Amino acid sequence: MTDKTHSANKRFVADTHWSVAFLDVPLFAHLDALFSLSSHSEWPSVEWFNQLSDGIVLASGQKLKFVANDDLANETRYYEQIIYETGQVPTRLENWHDLFGAFIWLLFPKTKSLLNQLHINEINEFGLVERSTARNAITLFDECGVIVTYDPTDLLASQIPVLLQTHQWSDAFVTHRALWGNQINAFMFGHANYEMATKPYLGLTGKVLFLPLISEFNLLSLKKQYQELDDALCNHISDNQVLINNKQLSPMPFLGIPNWYDDNQDPQFYHNTDYFRPKRRNT
């Protein structure tokens, strides 16, 4: 365990100051490549985010706009209702959670808009007092989602989802390591995952959704990959109703994903069964 890894026994507390030190963790490489975060000397502003979001229209027909949370202090509507009815995303300034939430809106606007629509559908049917099973699943993926794409025409790559679902971690991450970044790719969706990874510790676990994408996907630029991924993910969730409950979301100890965390270059890293837990047997 490196000095950068915090104990899982300590309660996570996000830093209150801006620093690009979190970019030392490789899983942030996509964000840095797409948004040049390493060049920022201070917190990105809502104005900066709105320049990047110009032209994004939600499923409700509203234009996406990030608004400082304090400017909506008199709002009585629920968070998801504000977004659906106005296109405004309440955003806490100088806040890691909302910072990464904004990045996910920019990278996955169609999928995020769909999730917002699904929330509204559930609210309209069940109200705001109790959260439905579907809303719990939508929120879980929104906060903690990890997307693993695989080439369905490749025999070995097609086995990775099963290996991960059955917790055969060493087979998935060590034996078949050469597939990762080629026939297998991982993308962070959950903004809470990103926030926690700014101070990584063994125990960080997301919820993975598997998405088959043909091999040509791997030849695209990173920007084009995210655009393609947003389209495919949005369609996958809509067409297959994968978020009506959380049964299709498997646990993912995402510090084990190759190229996401330096310590996992050592195969011994995966021998920690407190983190890479065996599949529980039904008794």
Other beta carbons less than 10 A from residue 69's beta carbon: 17
Rounded average pLDDT per 10-residue block, the chain, 283 residues: 46 89 98 98 97 94 96 94 97 97 98 97 91 95 98 95 98 98 96 97 97 90 97 96 93 98 98 94 61
| Bridge partners, 68 (sequence order) | 91
What pLDDT does residue 173 have?
98
Q: Tell how far CA 54 is from the center of its chain.
A: 22
What pLDDT does residue 10 have?
58
What pLDDT does residue 130 have?
85
What pLDDT does residue 2 have?
39
Q: Find out whether 227 and 178 touch, Cβ atoms under 8 Å.
A: no
Q: What are the φ and ψ backbone dihedral angles of 274, each rounded to 5 degrees?
A: -70, -30
pTM of the model: 0.94
Q: Could you give the residue ranges of the DSSP H alpha helices within the chain?
A: 29-35, 46-53, 79-86, 96-107, 109-126, 133-144, 155-165, 169-170, 191-197, 222-240
Quickly count helices (H) and strands (E) in the chain. 10, 6
Q: 3-state class of 97 per DSSP? A: helix
What pLDDT does residue 122 have?
95
User: How far does the chain reach from its first CA to its final CA, in angstroms?
Assistant: 34
What ranges do the domains of the chain cover? 20-271
Of the candidates 208, 237, 240, which has an alpha carbon nearest to the alpha carbon of residue 113? 237
* Cα dihedral 131/133/135/140 (nearest 10): 110
Tell me the pLDDT tens digit for each residue of 53-86: 999 999 899 999 999 999 999 999 999 999 999 9
